[in-house]
């Protein structure tokens, strides 16, 4: 009998009770980074604001998490929570737009793709809009445009800064021209805000594209972006086919846009709240009594 045969026979005769049991990992205890595949304790990942502790990859987060990360505890006052689309075009593809909206509302617990409200960031009052990519890809329909416009107008009235967290695939096709009108409506509201010498800061996250990029996402006094976010109007393939040339690998990334002056700064999520607070303090209007 060869040595290999002896080991094979010994393994067959080993009692089952001596076999090493597989260790069970509690569901949700570990998270795998989609960029570097490193496994991290979910608790540690959340403590690092959902940024991979190994490679720095910014994992996509929802609007509730955004609000919790930026707004001081107990100071958030939401606006227009019950505003929903009435499906004005009665649009239907594989299912009706109305049914699709209901599905996403049940899935996300949101009425549409943005949450808006007033709160405090390091004690500073701000108007915050947080888009949510999990709701129909963060697409901008009439409700998104209306909620953001009302938010901006409230901020102008209260003379406070506006911050919008952008995450969107663009205008919502199920609302046709009505979704495109939101580009002009939000832009007009921001212009009135600017005329009162008030601050507006958009944060461009992955992805920020289409009609959102072509309107309020690029109208900030200071435009910030998260690392390695995809930012653009048309898709890469469409641009390449139009120009008939190969584009750089980092085309439409926040780093590419920073080099070309479209973005003012790239801010890691772990530094975002402190950075926004610093910018607001630098640009707040001087009170009339001190002017």
pLDDT of 36-87, one tens digit each?
999 999 999 999 999 999 999 999 999 999 999 999 999 999 999 999 998 8
Which tokens in the block code for residue 12?
């067959």
Residue 172 is predicted with a pLDDT of: 95
Of 121, 78, 65, nearest to 273 (Cα)? 121
Q: Which DSSP state fits 233?
A: S
Whether pTM exceeds 0.75: yes
Which tokens in the block code for residue 110?
């949101």
Query: How many CB atoms neighbour CB 48 within 10 A?
Result: 15
pLDDT at res. 17: 47
138-168 pLDDT tens trace: 999 999 999 999 999 999 999 999 999 999 9
In contact, 208 and 217? CB cutoff 8 Å: yes
Res 209: pLDDT? 96
Position of tokens 């709160």?
A: 119
* Helix residue ranges, H only, 196-286: 210-213, 236-243, 254-259, 269-283
- Computed over every residue of the chain, the mean pLDDT equals 90
Looking at residue 2, its pLDDT comes to: 56
For residue 22, list its beta bridge partners: none
Give the residues across from 98 on adjacent strands: none
Q: Give the helix/strand (H/E) hosting 190.
A: helix 177-195
Give the pLDDT score at 16. Answer: 47
Pick the CATH number of 60-283 from 3.90.1150.10, 3.90.226.10, 2.60.40.10, 3.30.390.10: 3.90.226.10
Residues 6+ apart with CB under 8 A from 222: 199, 201, 264, 265, 279, 283
Q: What is the pLDDT of residue 88?
A: 87
For the stretch 84-107, pLDDT in tens is: 998 889 999 889 999 999 999 999
The domain locations on the chain are: 28-59, 60-283
Residue 5's pLDDT band (cuts 50, 70, 90)? low
């Amino acid at each position: 009998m060869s040595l290999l045969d002896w080991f094979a026979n010994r393994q067959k005769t080993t009692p089952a009770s001596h076999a090493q049991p597989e260790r069970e990992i509690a569901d949700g205890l570990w998270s795998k980074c989609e960029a570097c595949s490193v496994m991290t304790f979910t608790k540690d990942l959340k403590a690092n604001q959902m940024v991979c502790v190994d490679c720095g990859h910014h994992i996509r987060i929802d609007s509730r998490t955004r609000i919790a990360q930026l707004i001081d505890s107990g100071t958030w006052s939401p606006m227009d929570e019950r505003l929903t689309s009435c499906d004005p075009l009665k649009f239907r593809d594989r299912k009706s737009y109305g049914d699709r909206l209901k599905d996403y509302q049940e899935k996300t617990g949101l009425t549409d793709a943005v949450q808006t409200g007033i709160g405090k960031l390091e004690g500073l009052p701000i108007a915050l809009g947080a888009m949510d990519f999990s709701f129909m890809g963060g697409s901008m329909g009439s409700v998104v445009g209306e909620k953001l416009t009302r938010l901006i107008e409230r901020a102008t009235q209260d003379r406070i800064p506006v911050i919008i967290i952008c995450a969107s695939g663009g205008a919502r096709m199920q609302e046709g021209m009505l979704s495109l009108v939101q580009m002009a409506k939000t832009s007009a509201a921001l212009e009135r805000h600017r005329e009162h010498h008030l601050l507006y800061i958009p944060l461009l996250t992955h992805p920020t594209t289409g009609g959102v990029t072509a309107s309020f996402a690029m109208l900030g006094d200071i435009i910030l972006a998260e690392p390695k976010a995809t930012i653009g109007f048309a898709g890469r393939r469409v641009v390449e086919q139009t120009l008939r040339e190969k584009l750089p690998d980092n085309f439409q990334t926040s780093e590419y846009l920073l080099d070309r002056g479209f973005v003012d700064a790239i801010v890691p999520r772990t530094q975002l709240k402190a950075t926004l607070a610093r910018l607001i303090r630098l640009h707040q209007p001087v009170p009339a009594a001190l002017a």
